[in-house]
Amino acid sequence: MSIKKIIWIAVAVLLVAGTITGVVAYKRSQVTKVATGKATVGDLVSTVSGTGQIKPKTYVNVGATAFGRITHLYVKEGDHVKAGQLIATVESEQPASAVQAQQATIAASKTDQEAAVAAEKTAEANVAQAKADLEQKKFDFDRAQALYNDQILAKQDFDAKKAAYDMSVATLDQRIAAVVQAKAQTASAVGHINQAVATLRGSNYSLDLTQSRAPFDGLVTNVPVREGETVVVGIQNAEGSTLMTLADMSIITAEVKVDETDIVNVAMNQPVDVTVDALPGRIFKGHVTEVGDQALLRTTGMATSQSTTGTEEAKDFKVVVTLDQASDELRPGLSATAKITTAHKLNALTIPIQSLVERDMADEATLLAHDGKPPKVNANDPANTRKPQMVQGVYKLSTINGELRPVFVPVTTGVTGTTDIQVLGGLQAGDEIVTGRYKVLRTLKSGLPVKRDNTPETAADANSS
């Protein structure tokens, strides 16, 4: 064989080899790259988040209870007070003078009562004296009558004894009436004292209204007035002056708003982790103590039942979280975020949430039989006019004819976590599934040849998808 012929044969072989290599490279370039993962068993925690602010469970606005000028404020914002502690006073000259006047009236009334009691005792002594005198006059009259009947005593003497006896009887009746009068005067004096005491009680109440005291142990969170200002009492529809706001910080809550799509998963006594913007790195443990039943408009915070507009907008629900332990670092009004644990599944079979897709089972079976390529169909065939029956599932990777291909598998899901979701049926632990990327999953079909590509997604890839 000549050298020239050998050269031509070598060139032909190289051309054939290059063509085959190009075809193989082209086919490989047409294979879809997919990110993969596996169904794993582990603990799954489902959480719901809400934002709001720290609030004390109990707080009260201490209002003015008397009209007048503030003479002294004994506390300032940030001070801790005890129940019953004097916190502010309003000028009290008028009620104080009324108290002194009533005290003087009571003292005078007690003197009158003592005099009436003394007169009553005197009257009772006079009655006793009159009774003794009447008894003596009765003896004299009886003896005189006996002597008169025996005609020993002159009628003049008998009449004198009888007159003396009648006089004693009248004197006794008079002194008994005096006792009754003295007792009435004593009762009147006691009534005057009781009336003065009742009036004094009212005067003391009016005086006490000029002194404001803390209703419970708490923290002074706001003092909107200053010494020397004049405060007024609220009447009917007119609001009175507020001296200060007290908060009971022994029980602290976080009042947050939860999106309407998440509120169905929130229940009483669920554990909560509360974080406060002002205290980074700190986590306060708590539990749900109130779940609102009324939807609140997100833009205005107004309840939907009170809204007069017919526009549809996003809504929230109020959730109150009570912290397990109070902290002196917390202040009312601090911005807070609550992470509510709505479910906790142990040893749950989980997959990434993004791997879930919705497909028509019949279409996927057809695609699997045709290597991921839809077959030619007759548009007039009634079978092709049916409505797709979409079901939730994932693409499970299988080796078919020596190639890696995805197969759509319906799955039943349970609790949803932050990034993973529980699988109740359709997969087993260790099954490899397609997890991304989103652009690939959106158009992926069963039976289409794929290859694994689990390299980290770049920013350019994310933007393109």
Residue 308 is predicted with a pLDDT of 64
Is pLDDT at 319 greater than 90 in this prediction? yes
Q: Which residue has the higher pLDDT, 57 or 464?
A: 57
Residue 267 is predicted with a pLDDT of 94
Structure confidence at residue 374 as a pLDDT band (50, 70, 90): confident
Structure confidence at residue 316 as a pLDDT band (50, 70, 90): very high
Is pLDDT at 75 greater than 90 in this prediction? yes
Structure confidence at residue 418 as a pLDDT band (50, 70, 90): confident
Which range, 286-290, 296-300, 365-369, is most confident?
Answer: 286-290
Structure confidence at residue 305 as a pLDDT band (50, 70, 90): confident
Residue 23 is predicted with a pLDDT of 39
The Cα–Cα gap between 193 and 188 comes to 9
Which range has the worst mean pLDDT, 62-66, 83-87, 302-306, 427-431?
302-306
Is pLDDT at 453 greater than 60 in this prediction? yes
Q: Express each pLDDT in 160-192 by its tens digit.
A: 888 888 898 898 889 899 888 988 988 988 898
What Rg value do the Cα atoms of the chain yield, rounded?
51
Instruction: Provide mean pLDDT across the span 277-290.
Output: 94
Structure confidence at residue 284 as a pLDDT band (50, 70, 90): very high
Is pLDDT at 27 greater than 50 in this prediction? no
Q: Which residue has the higher pLDDT, 385 or 254?
A: 254
Is pLDDT at 334 greater than 50 in this prediction? yes
Which range has the worst mean pLDDT, 244-253, 375-384, 403-412?
375-384
Average pLDDT of every residue of the chain? 86
Is pLDDT at 126 greater than 80 in this prediction? yes
Residues in CB range of 219: below 8 A, 6 or more apart: 56, 78, 79, 80, 81, 246, 247, 248, 249
Q: Express each pLDDT in 192-217 by its tens digit.
A: 889 989 999 999 998 999 999 999 99
Is pLDDT at 224 greater than 90 in this prediction? yes
Which range, 204-208, 254-258, 364-368, is most confident?
Answer: 254-258
Instruction: Provide mean pLDDT across the span 139-165.
Output: 84
Q: Which residue has the higher pLDDT, 172 or 69?
A: 69
Residue 24 is predicted with a pLDDT of 41
Instruction: Provide mean pLDDT across the span 11-37.
Output: 61
Residue 52 is predicted with a pLDDT of 95
Is pLDDT at 357 greater than 80 in this prediction? yes
